[in-house]
Structure 1
Amino acid sequence: MMSEVKLQVSSTEDIEEQNNRWFFQNLMRILATGEMTDGKYFMAEVSAPVGDEPPLHSHPREEEAFYMLEGQLKVWVGDEDPVVINKGDYAILPRGVPHIYKVTSQTEARFLAIISPAKEDGFEGFVREISAPAQKMTLPPRLSPPTPEQLKAMGEIGDKYGIQFLGPPGARPADLNKY
């Protein structure tokens, strides 16, 4: 007996303009939402400037993966030695493990970020709350490094969505005992 399978097909033309977001220093094009994938995953194309690195963090509820389209990232995950990923490379960041990346190429990096599962009260919801609609399809205007007050507010928003901020930009998993 054959089960019914529903093929889900979407194109970037189906993605509403509101899904192009300025997320910190990055341009994020949301390609697949939890609603589109029945909660299985969230996927976005991320463009990040040279030197970009988010605060040290973990996702206790979700797995995260990167697939490199252009440029280069250096990725730190837990106690492992950092790895460099280039065009065509794929990195998996396990659920609950502290991680961070830094754009180490001489040009901006472009990669797919895949988060599973997709939850409105998880990473996808965090992106929508903390980002702004992209006013154009370019990197956002350069921001100053976050102040301690901004980091605290970001941590509170992260808590709401199950994202744990563990240290400032530039912190590495090995630095956790400092915070």
Structure 2
Amino acid sequence: MTMAYLAQPDQQQTLEWLDGGTFSVLLDSQATNGQLTVGRFAVNKGEAPPFHMHTREDEILMLIKGAALLWLGEEQMELSEGGIVYLPRNIPHGYRITSDTADLLMIATPGGIEGMFRQAGRDISTPRPDDFTIQPEKLAEAANRYGQVLLGPPR
């Protein structure tokens, strides 16, 4: 089945994510008939997800703005502004933002990973509880449910 889908900014969901950053769901698996998920991170210096791997999808990250350190397995490298990395499923990886702010585009195929962000994060269109934080247990539960394997702490 071939389909097209247009998502205007007011139709995109933005979630509060790790370390005070946000993750915007630009296209989800429902909009793409399961083919892919497209999301965008707006994060600050030091933001770093746990070292992890995806078991269900391949991931592409493009650093639109900023700078980051990237780990692929035990190999560390710099990801500079405009850089892009392809991460096939089952490749352990992580990153740490080294610039004051960063803008990252994420494409995952097939779609579905947005469920993890929705389960662990908080939709910013709802009132923010004073005590909101993404607890490690909540992140681990969401990651497990959506095929992510947390391999260790952020690098």
TM > 0.5 between the two? yes
Tell me how far apart the structure 2 counterparts of residues 153 and 134 of structure 1 sit (CA, whole Å).
18
**Deviation string, structure 1 residues 9-41 (Cα, Å, up to 9, x no partner):** 41433524xx11102222111111111111111
2:90 to 77, 93, 96: 96
Match status 1:31 vs 2:16:
no
Cα displacement (A) at 1:125: 1.0
Consecutive unaligned residues in structure 1, runs of 5 or more: 171-179
Answer whether contact 2:25 2:114 (CA < 8 A) is retained: no
Cα displacement (A) at 1:155: 2.0
Q: Secondary structure at the match of 1:67?
A: strand
Consecutive unaligned residues in structure 2, runs of 5 or more: none
Partner residue, 1:67: 62
Answer whether contact 1:15 1:30 (CA < 8 A) is retained: no
Partner residue, 2:9: 13
Equivalent pairs, count: 150
Partner residue, 2:105: 112
TM-score (norm 2): 0.85
Structure number with the higher strand fraction is 2
Aligned residue type for 1:159: N
The correspondence of residues 1-179 of structure 1 with structure 2, limited to 5 A, is 6=3, 8-13=4-9, 15-16=11-12, 19-25=13-19, 26-79=21-74, 81-105=75-99, 107-119=100-112, 123-135=113-125, 150-170=135-155
Give aligned-pair identity as a percent: 26
